[in-house]
Structure 1
Amino acid sequence: MDKIIISPSKYIQGEGALANIGEYVATYGMQPLVIADDFVMGLTKGTVEASFKEQLVEFDTFNGECSREEINRLIDKTDSVKADVIIGIGGGKTLDTAKAVAYYCKLPVVIVPTIASTDAPTSALAVIYTPEGEFSEYLLFPSNPNMVIMDTAIIAAAPVRLIVAGMGDALSTWFEARANMTSGKTTMAGGAPTRAAQALAKLCFETLMADGLKAKVAVENKVSTKAVENIIEANTYLSGIGFESSGLAAAHAIHNGLTKLEECHHLLHGEKVAFGTLTQLVLENAPLEEINQVIAFCKSIGLPTNLHDMGVKEIDRDKLLNVAEVSCAEGETIHNMPFPVTAQSVLSAILTAHQLGS
């Protein structure tokens, strides 16, 4: 199997980076269409317009759902204004929509996250929903975004829960990469992991351990520090390249199973992934020292370490067996683990992880 690593063509990060967007985007086009929701538009439009100076910039308000209908509406808008580059500013659904519009219009896309809650901004993937907000399909792109711009001042001003959830998502990266490397399964990049991708995945974990708590404290005070800069890079770039080019395993599959528990519907993606990571470590019988390190980290920044933390009041084994069965569905990434996994073994790991993290 060939080794493959994929990534955005350019990744830019810095305090006030949005103010330079006009200069950066000029590489790709001179008539951009900017897509953002109402709140983000109000937050960023003035900065974007000032950066492009006299250049013509079209803006369109994202309607809140990354659906086929919204994508088609924005494709029509792109054609009508003769845009030659798409810019998405905001959260995951806005960014996924921008990626999809650019893909269908065969245009470059620039991604500007305003939060660091997941590693999705760098990926060659969008999640498509129905207009009512139900999952519809994954849309895979032949390449990653042309550019990702992270303005750390904007991200540091977002609610602290979002960057903490991003750390929960990033926490799984190294452990899933390690499992995938051992099993030799194909990664989302379509091949075996490179040493570079593995190194980024490990650096992601090391950065979380070194700077996670410091970054949380800084963001609670709505300031950007060196630790915040490091964690934004870990949550977005290191984790993004790490998961896509090194592979997913049990942690994300268990996250998918947890979406079937109504009590967990209020949780963010990374909050569920954090418990999925702890469960994966139990599943593979990782050293207790490593498990305790993960538990201590999660507790220090406010990530859940047991089912009660996630809102599950009663431990119902039948419901948890359903979670385990969904986690083990055919095609799920849990089968990238370097040993056979059954629903019963996942249930056992969930219950043990819950007890260890309580």
Structure 2
Amino acid sequence: MAAPPNVPAMAAMEAGEKVSVWNYDLKPEGENDVTIKITKCGICATDIHMINNAWGFSVYPLIPGHEIVGEVVSYGSKVSGFQKGDLVGLGCLAQSCEKCPKCTTQQRDNLCPELKFTYFHTVVDETGEFQHRGGFASYIRTPASKVLKIPEGLDPAEAAPLLCAGVTTFTPLNEFSGNTGSLKGKKVGVIGPGGLGHLAVQFAAKMGAETVVIARNEAKKDFAFQLGATGFLVSESKDDMEAAARSFDFIISCISGGELDVHPYINLLAPYGTLHFVGIPDKPLTLDLMTMMFTRRSISCSPVGSTQQCRDMLEFAAKHGVKPIIERFPHSKAEEALEKVRSGKIRFRAVLENDLLSDAHAEKSGYGQ
């Protein structure tokens, strides 16, 4: 079944507004496009920032969502490698130049100077310019170069958060392994076993690292071991932190917001150890370089990975059984799901399951009339 020209979605009409049903026209299908019937879409904290225009570049009406899973329903004349009915995903990346070294030989299209994100940007192709929409919708039409096949063995709803949270945590760990997927003999710390961290723990453990969860108290100790951690460290215990000093090869910080004193974590690093951020504190870091200079320690950070890194992550997750812990919501209840994410009560990723094409919602929205 081909996509209709006008489709229902859940959109914020202005900054800070609740999402509600809104119909929009799909762009014409270009020769390099894939059209996807969306069945699942994860919710990320970025969606909330974009709804609120927290970064100043949101465009309304805004359809959020960049953890998209669905079925191919059609594709353009120059598209190869896909068939109708294929289970596919689309993450944060919508378009890049496909010509620069980052896009070609280096396979790091997430660093392309012309990168366009899934619902941040206007995308240009042979059909013209169009505002790329997100996954809180029933269909999406998008350049095929960023569309990923979902490997067998991954539940579609569980695959959705992997397209952002999964690749965000997998990529720095895999790069630290030399892109081998093996961290045997390395000691890895994960700060914060929440929405990002519970995936980082699984990836590090499945890569064979001695994996230690670092948290403020022991509330999540049992949970950490269930995820595969081999150790647990209470950051508010001075004795525990001193005992673990200079022992970690790599620490990944998965907490966002608030204010963070990095020096207790830097002191945990062995010589040449790295403290890596995938979550960003609200306030700039204050750094005493003397804590790093004579041990050759480093601080780094990264956003999502490239299209190829996302493929690698999906294959690794399917092979090793890495799964996000999710709560499922009907797509039409997107605002309820967003509120649970806002409140911090979600455990640990929210996933929308599309009901926007049901008869009741089609009639309510005027779809098909």
Does the TM-score normalized on the shorter chain lie above 0.5? no
The structure with the largest alpha-carbon Rg is: 2
Decide which structure has greater strand share: 2
